[in-house]
Structure 1
Amino acid sequence: MSVPETKAQRVRAVLELLEHAECGARDLTARLGLPEKKLRSVQRDLEELCLSGDVERLSGGHYRRPPRATTLNPVEALAVYSAARMLYHHAAEYNGHYLTALEKLTAQLPGAARRVAAQANAAYQQKKGGSDLAASRTFELVARAWLEGRVLRFKYHSLQKVSTVELAIYFIELNPQNRQAYAIGVNRLKGGERPFVFRLARMREAQLLSDATVIPEDFHPMDYLSGAWGIMTGDPVRVELFFSPAVKDRVQEVHLGPGAECQVLASGHTRVCLTVSGWLELAPWILGWGGEVEVLGPPELREAVAHAHSKGTRVYGR
């Protein structure tokens, strides 16, 4: 949200914030990016809005716009709540844009659920003191680059090296395994038309360039990610797993992706076969099952899992 410069802009901004959240005058002043000396102006705005009926005063010095009746059915309300909770867990560091999004989602919920979600939003707001301003700025520039169709230039700190990237962003995705955000697109400094995946947390010194980008009509994000266990793509690898009878029911509850085979054998063991775009992201999930699963193939994955278990045994001295 840009800083309002006139009274009309300030009043509109106040109404927009109070549409989705309960705030006090001091909090409104801070969230609008206004200097402390404008606090009295915001207080006068609130007094006028209360007299006109556009805003109501609550206990504790807070204000809000009168709630509107929700048009969501119970399943839709649960979907909105789930989206808000996923956004909350994804945003480990405070981001003002995320808070506004959370509040807008919360405002669509029925009374009881809205109250609980608002309490979670208030808890998220407490993270503000330790927020990473550079990370928030990066998120903002990535969003603008994607939505405005512009090239994003940044230094990318991978685990192996630091490189300069000029990215035409095709898609933004949250990794279902670690809830981190990734940008998918073409690095024009690298050449070629193959999209690559870049983790936002590893971007530094981001700059929004004026150069325009166009997302190819034949690019489909779900096709691109169809074989990924998390976010990584690569050559397809067939993986075969053998689970013990003790975890049979738990295995049945796991969404293994399209094309996966899951067969319960007469012995009570469960045989799972699936094809993924590389097994690196799959290995931590397999290790999470401990000794309840055996990797039958491919040999490289079996060796990596066995090596990790061996290291664990040495750490615990058994």
Structure 2
Amino acid sequence: MQTASVPSPMAITRKRRFPGSPMASAATWAARPKSKGSRIASILPQGRAGKDARPGQHSRQEVTPLVGRVAGTWFPTEDAMTEQTRRAARLIELERLLRRAGSRGLTTRELAGQLGCSVRTVQRDLQSLELDLRVPLTIEARRWRILEAADPLAPLHLNLHEARAILFALRLFLRYADEQDPDAVSAVDKLGEVLWGPLQSFVRLTAEQLRRRPSIQDRVDVLRTLTEGWAQTRRVDIEYRHGDETRTTTIEPYFLEPTATGLASYVIGRSSAHGNQIRTFKLDRIANARLRDDRFDPPVVDGLLEQLGRSWSGIVLADDEVRVVIDFSPAVAGRVSETFWHPSQVLTPLEGGGVRLELVLPSILELLPWVRSWGHDAFVREPASLRDAVAASFARAAAQYASSADSPPA
């Protein structure tokens, strides 16, 4: 019999993973204990394709695909799946489709078309999704959707490197957080549950470090209220400190934004007390927050994020353009050159090994502490106002250190 050289089943399946078992290959799937009536035995070819076939060769008729794609997701093919496995895979994909559709929702006919099954099957699966898996569903105008603000959220499936990326973000959060966020601690704990070995130990240490931060319940309540207002597009009444007085306003929380400058987080949105203009409010200065029932239309925030991104801290809303030129000494030129500081930056090598940094910023107020942190290794050439502010600050510091070690800061 004429044979064709095709990859062995092991070669075919080695590149795919089965749902629910990230490390399971087709070989381990086929080798698992078989229940009565299992069809697994018919999946792998028995023996060689023919008397003239070489090892590793099988006829095309004998090679049965072990994996297939359902709406963009790889699952075992019908020959490798029991009915329960097929249904579980379909329920996972059904929930994913509904979450992706959002408030628009999908009809049972649309779902059946994307899942490759009958409308009646989709109807049964929707019932199981709601009653057995506790996914909050609603139907309007024959379109099914998942209720907003569902808790808990959908399961999140991460590979090792995606989990590492989240761990990096959490480690940065730990570095700048001066208070305990119990929700962040819970998130770290859950991440640690799905990792293993040294990564799991490292994540657990991160959670313990977060727990050692002081906990201020009032600030946790404010953060949670603003988060719910953001997610549900609901207005929020806030009381915030402005100098020595407390003011009130109603805001539309467009989003929350952390910043390394001052180790602070901000809520950005329209404020009724400021002529419905967009304002930023530091969370540490908000004494109380109350969620309202009335909603606002979610804005398109692309332009707003771009405007914030032009500032040094990422939190200043201004349209000015101030040119900044700073020369750095050879001692720190390497560190300055290897870092991305700002989207507008231009780095130019200087004679002698130094480097010049040029920026365009809407405000220089937030830049002053950063320039001072470089000490005598940084020299401001433009603007003159920034150069004078740095010089005056260093002059006061020098005078203070020269007078007496016991003198308090002026």
TM-score by length of 1: 0.71
The Cα offsets for residues 15-44 of structure 1, whole Å up to 9 and x where unpaired, read as xxxxxxxxxxxxxxxxxxxxxxxxxxxxxx
Match of 1:236 among 304, 321, 332: 321
Tell me what 1:44 maps to: none
1:215 aligns with 2:298: yes
Structure 1 residues 255 and 133 mapped into 2: Cα distance closer, same or farther (>3 Å)? same
Contiguous gaps of at least 5 residues in structure 1: 1-69
- The alpha-carbon distance between structure 1 residues 170 and 115, as it changes in their structure 2 partners (threshold 3 A), is same
**CA deviation profile, 1:171-225 (whole Å, cap 9, x unmatched):** 1111033332111111022114x42211101101222122212222365443131
Question: Whose RCO is larger (CA < 8 A, sep 6+)?
Answer: 1
Aligned 8 A contact 2:381 2:387 in 1: yes
Q: Do residues 303 (structure 1) and 388 (structure 2) align?
A: yes
Match of 1:262?
A: 347
Equivalent residue, structure 1, for 2:198? 112
Amino acid in the other structure paired with 1:213: F
Deviation by residue 1:217-237 (Cα, 9 ceiling, x = unmatched): 365443131211102232221
The sequence identity of aligned pairs, in percent, is: 28
Contact kept? 1:84, 1:106, Cα under 8 Å: no
Contact 1:155 1:165 in 2 (8 A): yes
Cα distance in 2, alignment partners of residues 159 and 263 from structure 1:
42
Paired with 2:260 and 2:229, the residues of 1 have a C-alpha distance of 23
Partners of 1:307 and 1:171 in 2: CA distance: 37
Is it true that 1:140 corresponds to 2:224 in the alignment?
Answer: yes
Contact 2:163 2:191 in 1 (8 A): no
Distance 2:226 2:261 in 1: 21
Secondary structure, counterpart of 1:317 in structure 2: helix
CA distance in 2 between counterparts of 1:148 and 1:233 reads: 24
Alignment of 1:31-70 (within 5 A): none
Q: CA deviation at 1:278?
A: 0.2
Greater Rg by CA: 2
Q: Partner of 1:153 in structure 2?
A: 237
Q: Normalized against structure 2, the TM-score is what?
A: 0.56
- Cα 1:287–1:209 change in 2 (3 A) is same
Does structure 1 residue 196 correspond to structure 2 residue 279?
yes
SS at match of 2:262: coil
Secondary structure of 1:232's partner?
Answer: coil
* Distance in 1 (alpha carbons) for counterparts of 2:163 and 2:208: 20
Return the offset for 1:118.
Answer: 0.7
2:343 is paired with a residue whose SS is coil
Once residues 347 and 212 of structure 2 are traced to their aligned partners in structure 1, the CA distance between those partners, rounded to angstroms, is: 44
Instruction: Please name the residue that 1:286 is paired with.
Output: 371
Is the alpha carbon distance of 1:229 and 1:242 closer, same or farther for their aligned partners in structure 2, counting shifts above 3 Å?
same
Change in Cα spacing, 1:75 to 1:173, as seen in structure 2 (3 Å) is: same
Who is 2:188 aligned against? 102
Q: Does 1:89 align with 2:141?
A: no
Counterpart pick for 1:164 among 238, 243, 248: 248
Q: Separation in 2 of the partners of 1:300 and 1:250?
A: 26
The alpha carbon displacement at 1:141 in A equals: 0.9
What is the distance in 1 between the residues matched to 2:310 and 2:193?
A: 36
SS in 2 for 1:205: strand
Contact 1:72/1:108 (8 A) holds in 2: no
Q: 1:166 to 1:219 in 2, by over 3 A?
A: farther
The structure-2 alpha-carbon separation of the partners of 1:307 and 1:146, relative to structure 1 and needing over 3 Å to count, comes to: same
- Are the aligned partners of 1:88 and 1:102 in contact in 2 as well (CA < 8 Å)? no
Q: How many residues align?
A: 246
Q: Give the secondary structure class of the aligned counterpart of 1:93.
A: coil
Alignment partners' CA distance in 2, 1:74 and 1:139 = 30
